[in-house]
Amino acid sequence: TASLLSKAGLPIPLHRLITESAQANDAANQIGWHVVVKPVDGDRGEGVDTRSDDAEKLEKAGELAFMESKRQRVIIEQQVEGTAHRLFIVNGQLLYAFKRLPITVTGNGSDTIAVLAENAYKAEQLKPVWARIKRPPLDELALEYIAQIGLKPETVPRRGESVALRAIESTASGGVDEDVT
131-170 residue pLDDT tens? 887 777 788 889 989 998 999 999 999 999 999 998 877 7
Can you give the pLDDT at residue 105? 93
- Residue 178 clears pLDDT 80, i.e. is over it: yes
Residues 6+ apart with CB under 8 A from 170: 44, 45, 46, 48
Q: Contact, 77 vs 55, CB < 8 A?
A: no
- Residue 8 clears pLDDT 80, i.e. is over it: yes
Tell me which H or E stretch contains 164: strand 162-164
**CA gap 83, 167 in Å, rounded:** 10
41-81 residue pLDDT tens? 877 778 888 878 888 889 998 998 999 899 999 999 998 88
Can you give the pLDDT at residue 90? 94
- Residue 97 clears pLDDT 80, i.e. is over it: yes
What φ, ψ does residue 110 adopt, rounded to 5°?
A: -135, -30
127: helix, strand or coil: coil
Task: Please report, as a single letter, which amino acid is at residue 180.
Answer: V
Can you give the pLDDT at residue 73? 93
Average pLDDT, the chain: 89
Can you give the pLDDT at residue 2? 83
